[in-house]
Amino acid sequence: MELKHITSDITGEEMYCGTHPSGLGIYLIPKKDYSETYAIFGTRYGSVNSKFIVPGETEVTEVPDGIAHYLEHKMFDQPDGSNVFDKFAKYGGNANAFTSFDMTAYLFTATEHIEENLAALMDYVQSPYYTDETVQKEQGIIGQEIRMYDDSGNWKLFFNLLNCLYQNHPVKKEIAGTVESISHITPEYLYKCYNTFYNLSNMSIVVVGGFNVESVLDVIEKGIKKNEPFTEEIKKIYEDEPSEIAKPYAEQKMSVASPLFMIGFKDTDTGYGGERLIKKYIEVSILLKMLFGRSSRLYKELYESGLINNTFQTDYTVQTSYAYSAIEGESRDSKAVYEAVKNEIERVRREGLNEDDFNRIKKVMWGRYIRSHNNVEEYAGMFMQFLFVGADYFNYHDAYEKVTFDDVKRRFENHFVTERSALSVINPM
C-alpha cells in the first residue's frame, strides 16, 4: 500500500501514514540518527467500555468491570504454549502493555532487529487464546494485583477523587475491576470483547525512531491477519453524567509515610474531539501552570509556609466523554491547601489573569512539545493518545497557534468552578 508522506514546515519532522484495507491506521515517524525505535499497537478500548453495541447488532452487550485489563493480560497466552517475552528477548526487544480508561496498548522498544520485534508484536496481538482453565488461573493472578492496588495510597487517593467528581460515568471505576467483578469473566466474554474492539478498524500502530520505512511497512502488511473492517462505529454506552459532583470530600487512613491530597476540578465541557479538544488541552495546561505552577504566587506562598513540598504537581486528563484537572502532593494540612487553592481562584476571578504570564507559559508549552520529539516513547504515546480522540499531535502547532489570552480567560471561568471541585485525602494510620 502507498502511505501519504507529510513533512512539518514548523518542526521539519516527517510522517508516513495511511489506512490499510483491513481498517488498521498506520503511522510511521522515522528519525534520522536515532538508535532506538518504539512501536505501539493500540486499540480504542479501555476500562470504561463495559457497555456497548457491536456493529451489525442491535442489543446492548454488558460485560464485567475490569475485562479490558484482563484481556490485555490474556493476550500474552499463546495457542502453542510459547512465551511472548522470550520472542522479544531473542531479538533484544523490551516488550510491555498497558490498559487505561480508554485504550489498551501493546508495545516494544529496541535498538536492533526492529523488523523481527515488530513481526512478533503483530503476531501475538492478533492471536487470542482463551480457555476455561487459563481464564480461571488468571483470576487468582489479577486478584492479587487488585489487592496490591488496594494497599497503594496514591492509587486509592486517585480513585477516591474520581468517585467524588463523578456520579455515573465509569471512569470512577478501578481499571482492573474488583475481585468480585473479575470472577464473572469467561472465555466467551473475552472473545466477544476481542472480536469487537480488536477489529483492526478500531486499532492503529505507531512506530517512532530509527527504522527503515519500507521494511517496517512490509512487516506490518505481511503481519495483518484476515480481518473484515467494521463499516460502522462501535457504539459505546455511558450513563448520563450530571454537571454536579457526587461529593466534595473523601478521606481514608492507610499505611502511608505522609498525608496525601488530591484536588480535582470536573470539566463539563465535553462531547467532542479533534483540534477543538487539543486546543482545550493546551488552554487548561497553560492555566494550571499560571495558577499553580512553580513560578506562581500560590505555589510560593504554600511552599514557604511549609504546607506543600516538591511533590506538588498538576495534571489535566481529557477525553471525549469526560475530563478533569488534578492538583496533588503531600501536606500536613490538606484542607488548608484546598482552601488556599479556592481562595486563589476567587482572587483571580476578581483581579483577572496576567497576560505576561500567559505569553511566557504558552512558550513553555511549545518548548515541551518540541522536547517530546526527542523521546520516542513519550512522542509515540502522546501521538496515539490524541489520535484516539481524533486529534493530530503531529500538527499540534495548528491548535497551539489558535490559543489566545481571551480563550484562556474564558476557559478559566468555565473550568475552575469551586462548586465542581473536590478534595481527596489519605492520612497515615
pLDDT in tens, 297-325: 999 999 999 999 999 999 999 999 999 99
CB atoms within 10 A of CB 4: 9
Instruction: Report yes or no on 48 lying in a domain.
Output: yes
Question: In residues, how long is the chain?
Answer: 429
Same-domain status, 228 and 338: no
CA–CA dist 351, 222 (Å, integer): 61
Q: Between 132-150 and 67-74, two packed helices, what is the crossing angle to 10 degrees? A: 120
pLDDT recorded at residue 79: 81
Helix (H, G, I), strand (E, B), or coil: what is residue 145? Answer: helix
Same-domain status, 194 and 270: no
83 burial via Cβ count (<10 Å: 0-12, 13-18, 19+): exposed
CA–CA dist 89, 361 (Å, integer): 43
- Tell me the CA end-to-end span of the chain in Å, nearest whole number: 60
pLDDT recorded at residue 318: 97
Boundary of a domain, candidates 215, 236, 257: 236
CA–CA dist 230, 383 (Å, integer): 23
Same-domain status, 198 and 286: no
Same-domain status, 104 and 167: yes
CA dihedral defined by 34, 35, 41, 47, rounded to 10 degrees?
-90
Same-domain status, 222 and 270: no
Q: Dihedral sign, CA of 148, 174, 78, 62?
A: positive
pLDDT recorded at residue 405: 98
What would the DSSP string read from start to end of 47-104?
TT-SEEE-TT--SPEE--TTHHHHHHHHTTB-TT--BHHHHHHHTT-EEEEEE-SS-E
Instruction: Report yes or no on 164 lying in a domain.
Output: yes
Boundary of a domain, candidates 236, 257, 287: 236
pLDDT recorded at residue 320: 96
The Cα angle at residue 201 between residues 1 and 168, in degrees rounded to 5: 155
- The grid cell for 40 is 505501539
Please, are residues 55 and 231 in contact by the beta-carbon 8 Å criterion?
A: yes
- The grid cell for 426 is 489519605
Which residues of the chain carry a pLDDT beneath 50? none
Same-domain status, 253 and 228: no
CA–CA dist 111, 118 (Å, integer): 12
Same-domain status, 340 and 277: yes
Same-domain status, 215 and 295: no
Phi-psi map region of 194: left, alpha, beta (phi>0 left; psi -120 to 50 alpha): alpha
Q: What is the CATH number of the domain that holds 362?
A: 3.30.830.10
pLDDT recorded at residue 219: 98
Tally: H helices and E strands in the chain? 15, 15
Same-domain status, 314 and 396: yes
Instruction: Report yes or no on 125 lying in a domain.
Output: yes
CA–CA dist 121, 67 (Å, integer): 21
Same-domain status, 153 and 254: no
Same-domain status, 232 and 341: no
Boundary of a domain, candidates 204, 236, 268: 236
What is the number of structural domains in the chain?
2
CA–CA dist 45, 101 (Å, integer): 8
Instruction: Report yes or no on 118 lying in a domain.
Output: yes
Q: Which of these is catalytic: 13, 57, 72, 301?
A: 72
pLDDT recorded at residue 227: 75
Domain that holds residue 181: 4-236
Q: Is 419 a catalytic residue?
A: no
Instruction: Report yes or no on 55 lying in a domain.
Output: yes
Instruction: Report yes or no on 242 lying in a domain.
Output: no
Same-domain status, 110 and 34: yes
pLDDT recorded at residue 175: 96
Helix (H, G, I), strand (E, B), or coil: what is residue 424? Answer: strand
Instruction: Report yes or no on 416 lying in a domain.
Output: yes
Please, are residues 4 and 18 in contact by the beta-carbon 8 Å criterion?
A: yes
What ranges in 305-375 are assigned the alpha helix state H? 334-351, 355-372
Instruction: Report yes or no on 138 lying in a domain.
Output: yes
